[in-house]
């Protein structure tokens, strides 16, 4: 990589135009090919064609706007509202990508179901996905949960020690659970079964009224307003990479 331009080693310091546009966070390679077919990409004033290559000194325009290949990584902390779906599928009008409308191409790491809210990460770093999502890594995620009636000591004990979920044929891991109010508790999970907390509560005869994720590892929701996002701080990023054993300079 040189000055933010990741060259293709086989071709004298250049990059294919569709890869260049993807690296710039403007669009996927498939989308770039479609834009090329429509004649909306220009290189040094000339209409670009599929297979054209871009050099560092070239000027690339998309619909008349200059594009620069960006190497900077993006990690966003987003406070997801209820009703937003953790998908990039454009057919869903409530998809998370259109909702945040970030100027560069990002995607969510992990999920929160449509009726849940709180902290979720979005990034352009593919190498974050597996370390964060793999249950075997035991990364902590913390939630505040409100249910439909009073919480008993037996409920807390069962939640802590693991509950068999028949529909998934799986038993949840032991976890930290603390009662915080008459019908509210905090729970820290190190696995991510489908709708796990809701299923656990249902198995104990409770219905979840509100579920909010407030922490992913060292990253806290804290004062991010609902529906808003902020970029990760350098200190947060450094600690996260250490915990994930990701080597980034």
The whole-angstrom separation of Cα 151 and Cα 157 is: 11
Helices (H), the chain: 17-23, 29-37, 96-100, 129-133, 153-161, 196-203, 234-244
Which residue is it, tokens 């949840």? 172
The residue annotated as part of the active site, out of 113, 169, 181, 210, is 113
Active-site annotation holds for 113: yes
Which of 86-89's residues contact partners 24+ apart within 8 Å by CB, and which partners?
86/110, 86/111, 86/112, 86/113, 86/120
The whole-angstrom separation of Cα 140 and Cα 38 is: 46
Give kind and range of the element (H or E) at residue 172.
none
The whole-angstrom separation of Cα 245 and Cα 247 is: 6
Alpha carbon dihedral 172, 173, 174, 175, in 10-degree steps, equals: -90
Structure tokens belonging to residue 56: 């560092």
Give kind and range of the element (H or E) at residue 40.
none
Structure tokens belonging to residue 228: 């808003």
**Quick one: how many helices (H) and strands (E) in the chain?**
7, 17
Phi, psi of 218 (to 5 degrees): -90, 0
Report the catalytic residues: 113
């Amino acid at each position: 990589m040189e000055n933010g331009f990741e060259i293709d080693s086989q071709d004298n310091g250049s990059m294919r135009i569709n890869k260049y546009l993807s690296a710039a966070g403007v669009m996927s390679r498939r989308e770039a090919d479609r834009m090329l077919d429509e004649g909306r990409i220009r290189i040094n004033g000339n209409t670009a064609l599929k297979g054209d290559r871009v050099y560092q000194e070239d000027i690339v325009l998309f619909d008349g706007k200059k594009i620069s290949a960006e190497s900077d990584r993006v990690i966003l902390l987003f406070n997801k509202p209820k009703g937003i779906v953790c998908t990039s599928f454009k057919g869903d009008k409530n998809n998370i990508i259109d909702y945040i409308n970030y100027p560069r191409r990002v995607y969510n790491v992990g999920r929160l179901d449509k009726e849940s809210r709180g902290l979720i990460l979005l990034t352009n770093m593919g190498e974050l996905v597996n370390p964060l999502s793999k249950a075997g890594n035991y990364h902590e995620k913390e939630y505040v949960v409100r249910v439909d009636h009073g919480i008993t000591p037996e409920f807390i004990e069962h939640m802590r020690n693991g509950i068999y979920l028949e529909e998934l044929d799986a038993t949840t891991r032991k976890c930290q659970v603390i009662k915080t109010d008459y019908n509210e508790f905090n729970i820290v999970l190190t696995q991510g079964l489908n709708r796990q907390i809701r299923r656990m509560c249902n198995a104990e005869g409770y219905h979840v009224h509100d579920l909010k994720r407030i922490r992913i590892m060292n990253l806290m929701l804290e004062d991010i307003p609902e529906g808003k996002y902020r970029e990760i701080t350098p200190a947060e990023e450094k600690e996260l990479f250490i915990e994930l054993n990701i080597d980034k300079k």
